[in-house]
Amino acid sequence: MFESYDFLQGYSRERQYFLSLPTLWKINFQYSREGALAPYQQGIPGSAQDGPTGLPSAIQRALNKADEGWRIQNEPLQFTKRGNILVAREVTIPQEQSQFIAPGVDINKGNYLPAYGVEKRSSFLERNLAINFFDTEEDLEHNFFRPWQIALAIEGLIQRDLLCPVVDLLQYNNRGQVRKGYRFTDVFPTNVEGYTLNYDNTEFMAKSVTFAFKNYKQI
């Protein structure tokens, strides 16, 4: 009887038990737009100048270097309002995992349970951030993330202008206050998934992009 009372009392009056709506979240990419105007701003493909640039211009420069026919035509900041990318439909937060081993010589330990030790923490390439984006009229996946993926394949990770310095994911309580979040640093795409077109699907299309990062921390 008292257990039921404690449950109802806690979840109805005590803040630490309050349940927040799962749709109260937002995500945004933070990067520099310094340097030359990106080609979609000037209407001149391949117009990025030399010298330090922001992420959009760095992507276009890499594409031009390899004489690729790709170009960026929009960017996440164009789809962002009040710190939220409106076309982001779903986010998968990476798992946190370590690998364990049983140290020592592999001998008969009798009835004793073996001891365990930590071998390593999973690498940043194994801790992926996945985001699904709506396929809108000005498709962000087609016009930005797919060219970004190709640019990374051309230049590699040594070109730091091709990394997004910060991606913030925030979750809110029912009063509109930030209750927790994650900050990902040095973010870059590792996989832009393909998709299928047919005449049977009546649902709005969402495209998945997987990102790796150097590190992350709690907000």
Q: Is residue 198 part of a domain?
A: yes
Cβ–Cβ < 8 Å for 141, 133: yes
Lowest mean pLDDT, pick from 39-43, 141-145, 157-161: 39-43
Q: What is the pTM of this model?
A: 0.81
Whether residue 6 is contained in a domain is answered as no
Is residue 197 assigned to a domain?
yes
Which domain CATH number covers 179? 2.30.110
Sequence-distant (6+) residues with CB within 8 A of 72 are 38, 39, 40, 56, 59, 60, 63, 143, 144, 147, 148
What is the domain extent for residue 177? Answer: 18-104+115-218
Residue 8 covered by a domain: no
What would the pLDDT profile of 58-116 be if each residue is shown by its tens digit?
999 999 988 888 999 999 999 999 999 999 999 999 888 777 777 665 666 666 666 67
**For residue 142, how many other CB atoms are within 10 A of its CB?**
16
Q: Which residues contact 216 (CB under 8 A, 6 or more apart)?
A: 94, 127, 182, 183, 184, 185
Instruction: Please report whether residue 70 resides in a domain.
Output: yes
Q: Is residue 10 part of a domain?
A: no
Distance (Å, whole) CA 144 – CA 201: 25
**Confidence at residue 106, expressed as pLDDT on a 0 to 100 scale:** 61
- CA of 156: how far to CAs of 103, 142, 152, in Å? 37, 20, 5
Q: How many domains does the chain have?
A: 1
Whether 37 maps to a domain, the answer reads yes
Query: Per-residue pLDDT tens for 190-214?
Result: 999 998 888 988 889 999 999 999 9
In a domain, 7, yes or no: no
d(CA 118, CA 103): 9
